[in-house]
Amino acid sequence: MTDIIRLTAAQTAEKIASGELTAVEVTEAHLARIEAVDEKVHAFLHVDREGALAQARAVDAKRAAGEPLGPLAGVPLAMKDIFTTEGVPTTVGSKILEGWLPPYDSTVTKRLKAADVVILGKTNMDEFAMGSSTENSAYGPTGNPWDLTRIPGGSGGGSAAALASYQAPLALGTDTGGSIRQPAAVTGTVGVKPTYGGVSRYGMVAFSSSLDQGGPCARTVLDAALLHEAIGGHDPMDSTSIDAPVPPVVEAARSGDVRGMRIGVVKELGGEGYQAGVVQRFEESVEVLRGLGAEVVEISCPSFVYALAAYYLIAPSECSSNLARFDAMRYGMRVGDDGTRSAEDVTALTREAGFGAEVKRRIILGTYALSSGYYDAYYGSAQKVRTLITRDFEKAFESVDVLVSPTTPTTAFPLGERVDDPLAMYLVDLCTIPVNLAGNAAMSLPCGLAPEDGLPVGLQIIAPALKDDRLYRVGAAVEAAFVKKWGHPLLEEAPQL
């Protein structure tokens, strides 16, 4: 059993295809693991045991019938609870959607089902993906498998923790300001935010429409690439989805050759305020890349310093509008409907009871920023900053193929440390946010443990829009070099649960 859960997704699929393992065996092993450890980790909000086993049986039947199997057939996956799943609870980590059974599957859900991926269940997250620690979940926090008293990152802490605790070899996340990459960094896993429009947003509950992007989470670069390929590509149901083939990510992940590539170190993302161990591991990664034959230069992106401010105007503005639909009329929670109150009162009471503090804070911020008389100063200026950041990237990519930085300024901090200090919490996403504002692609992958606390550090790789394959090429090279250096994948150093 232990062996099965420690396999990569690629290995698992291979063993199922060859008949060495059945999909049901694989699924049962993971369900048993969840049973054994998730009480401690709390990665899952809902485990769909029956659905997962049914899907696994279907894969085994397909194989028995001699039908061709896809590259991820029978591989279990933990899905962030932000993607709709027909008939399976989808809460977005919020009380306001408690008990809601969506009548439809998200495009990503559909594609995973079509690819015969086994969906184990739905993972914990900060409410409506607003947060960097999963502590804003209405259903309680998730622990970091490296140290259960520390944050697993957020908003997709459940997905990252599920990977790091071997409850699933694949997971799905969404990244609005770093919600895939930052959890990956602090849990020693791999997370990719694809180019905006690279993965359909249809059926992904919206936080900030112009920033949200679904993407793959895994324990290896190749597994992430396989998942990326399965969920990516044009979707006519999402107008902002890019009508172009998925970049050749799997091929890039298998190649891992960075000789002659030009790599830019972003001057503004690092230095003062960054944890010493994070800086040290980052610098080592840059040396590794140089050693692999890449050319490394320093690049300045002067507008990045305004990214956080712009983000905290744009994201709340969009969320104030996106979350208006939770009005107790058609679905979800309804409070105070005793036959005497008006619809308006019921809406107000429901939103008061159903939304958590951080969600309310952002709705209020956004409502204010969009108000007439303030729009130009806030939303308008933020959009201008966004343009400047995009130009910084464009200019940088004229001279380099990818940019690199630490994914986060620090390693995982203790649960509770920043819950009462929203600004300190927002700073966690300093390095990841510029990418969302510009809409290009980025990956976080483990680059070692910080010497001072023994916790994972993430390396962020940033590629131009539609060049997601470069992330995998560089990521695979770094990963191979480190595994060789360490003698094993980083996660093997995590404590046994």
Partner 1 sequence: MTVTDLLSYEDALASFDPVMGLEVHVELGTRTKMFCGCSTELGAEPNSQTCPTCLGLPGSLPVVNAVGVESAIKIGLALNCEIAEWCRFARKNYFYPDMPKNFQTSQYDEPIAYNGYLDVQLEDGEVFRVQIERAHMEEDTGKSTHVGGATGRIHGASHSLLDYNRAGIPLIEIVTKPIEGAGERAPEVARAYVAELRELIKALGVSEARMEMGQMRCDVNLSLRPHGRSTFGTRSETKNVNSLRSVERAARFEIQRHAAVLTSGGTIVQETRHFHEEDGSTTSGRIKEEAEDYRYFPEPDLVPVAPAREWVEELRGGLPELPRLRRKRLQEEWGIADHEMQSVLNAGALDLILATMAEGADAASARKWWMGELARHANETGAELSAVPITPAQVARVAALVAAGDLNDKLARQVIEGVLAGEGEPDQVVDKRGLKVVSDDSALGAAVDDAIAANAAIAGKIRGGNLAAAGALIGAVMKATRGQADAKRVRELVLEKLGVQG
- Is 80 noted as a catalytic residue in this protein? yes
CB atoms within 10 A of CB 415: 20
In what helix (H) or strand (E) does residue 264 lie, and over which residues does it extend? strand 262-266
**Rule CB under 8 A: is residue 243 a binding residue for partner 1?**
no
Q: Is 236 in the site for partner 1 (CB under 8 A)?
A: yes
Among 204, 218, 246, 443, binds partner 1 (CB under 8 A): 204
Cα separation of 224 and 235, whole Å? 20
Alpha carbon distance 141, 126 (integer Å) = 8
87-110 b/e with 16+ CB inside 10 Å = b? ebbbbbbbbbbeebebeebbbbbb
Task: Please tell me which residue in 106, 155, 200, 208 is annotated as part of the active site.
Answer: 155
CB of 107 to partner 1, least distance (A): 9
The helices-and-strands tally (H runs, E runs) of the chain is 17, 11
Catalytic residue among 165, 179, 241, 444: 179
Name the minimum Å distance from CB 332 to partner 1: 8
Alpha carbon distance 194, 311 (integer Å): 18
User: Which CB, 137 or 187, lies closer to partner 1?
Assistant: 137
Q: Which of 320, 350, 407, 411 binds partner 1 (CB under 8 A)?
A: 320
- Does 84 interact with partner 1 (rule: CB under 8 A)? yes
User: Minimum CB separation from partner 1 for residue 105, in Å?
Assistant: 10
Interactions with partner 1, residue window 379-438 (CB under 8 A): 379
Instruction: Give the C-alpha separation, 253 to 226, whole Å.
Output: 9
Residues 6+ apart with CB under 8 A from 282: 270, 404, 405, 406, 447, 457, 459
Q: Would you say 448 and 482 are in contact if contact means Cβ atoms under 8 Å apart?
A: yes
* Identity of the residue, 157 or 203, whose beta carbon is nearer to partner 1 in the bound complex: 203
* Single residue of 202, 274, 282, 311 touching partner 1 by CB under 8 A: 202
CB of 491 to partner 1, least distance (A): 32
Which DSSP state fits 199? Answer: B
Q: Is 101 near partner 1 (CB under 8 A)?
A: no
Looking at 40, 325, 360, 484, which residue binds partner 1 (CB under 8 A)?
325
Interface residues for partner 1 in 258-297 (CB under 8 A)?
A: none
Of the two residues 290 and 325, which places its CB atom closer to partner 1 in the complex?
325
Tokens of 287: 């040396």
* Smallest gap from residue 428 Cβ to partner 1 (A): 24
- And the tokens for 213? 């992007």
Distance between CA atoms of 224 and 212, rounded to whole angstroms? Answer: 18
* Distance between CA atoms of residues 418 and 136, nearest Å: 11
Residue with tokens 């979940």: 137
Classify burial at 279, counting beta carbons within 10 Å of its beta carbon; exposed 0-12, middle 13-18, buried 19 or more. middle
User: Which stretch, 22-30, 235-243, 407-415, 485-493, contacts partner 1 (CB under 8 A)?
Assistant: 235-243
Size of the site for partner 1 (CB under 8 A): 44
When binding is defined by CB under 8 A, the residue of 290, 375, 399, 424 that contacts partner 1 is 375
Residue 402 phi/psi, 5-degree rounding, is -140, 160
Q: What is the nearest approach in angstroms of partner 1 to the Cβ of residue 350?
A: 12
324 binds partner 1 (CB under 8 A): yes
Among 12, 27, 55, 106, binds partner 1 (CB under 8 A): 106
> Tokens 């058609």 identify what position?
330
Residue from 10, 31, 83, 171 that binds partner 1 (CB under 8 A)?
83
Asked whether 448 and 459 are in contact (CB, 8 A), the reply is no
Active site residues: 80, 155, 179
Residues within the interface to partner 1 (CB under 8 A)? 83-84, 90, 92, 97, 100, 102-104, 106, 201-206, 208-210, 236-240, 317-318, 320-321, 324-327, 329-331, 343-344, 347, 367, 370-372, 375, 379
